Amino acid sequence: MMIHKGTPQFGWIRGQFPGGTADLNFNRRQQTISGDSFGDQVQISTSSEGTSVTGRAHGQSVELKQQWSPQLVKLEGWANGARYQMTVDYDCHKATGNAGGQPIDLNFDLHQGFVRGQAGGGQVDLNLSNDGALTGQMAGGRVQAEMVNLDLGHLLSNWFLVTQ
């Protein structure tokens, strides 16, 4: 008998970001993210069709339309009390958009484990090690976090949860 291991159903991001601490639990089976970020409760869910992301984070309503494919994720709507737009293009290794009037322009590589560029008016230079340690700088502050059973794509697709 052969046992096949699939994608883990649960993952998390826990640690320190420039705006404070985050403790986010990802449940792939339920398509939810819960926990807290910067002292506020997070309760996010993706519709069963995968076309919307809704809930609460940072004391604000989250209402995002989503287009998802293995190569491209697009989010557009409201998060953190402001207009939010993010496109994560896996083929081009780019994440671009706008959050609260501030541009997002990031380069990333899932295999080499880095995210670099500009977001929120500040530099971003993050590294994810093979053991799940997320370290570096963003928005002028230090990042020291742990990511388990997730990759940088999960971080980028949920950027609004680790920024204010």
pLDDT higher than threshold 90 for residue 4:
no
Percent of the chain whose predicted confidence (pLDDT) is above 70 = 96
Per-residue pLDDT reduced to its tens digit, 74-96: 999 999 999 999 999 999 999 99
Regarding pTM above 0.85, the answer is: yes
Cα angle for residues 25, 146, 81 (degrees, 5° grid): 55
Burial class (CB in 10 A: 0-12, 13-18, 19+), 48: exposed
Residue 36 CA to residue 97 CA, distance in Å, equals 24
Pick from 63, 91, 92: which is nearest to 160 by CA?
Answer: 63
pLDDT higher than threshold 70 for residue 2:
no
In the chain, where are the structural domains located?
Answer: 10-161
Per-residue pLDDT reduced to its tens digit, 26-71: 999 999 999 999 999 999 999 989 899 999 999 999 999 999 999 9
> What is the rounded average pLDDT of the residues 116-134?
95
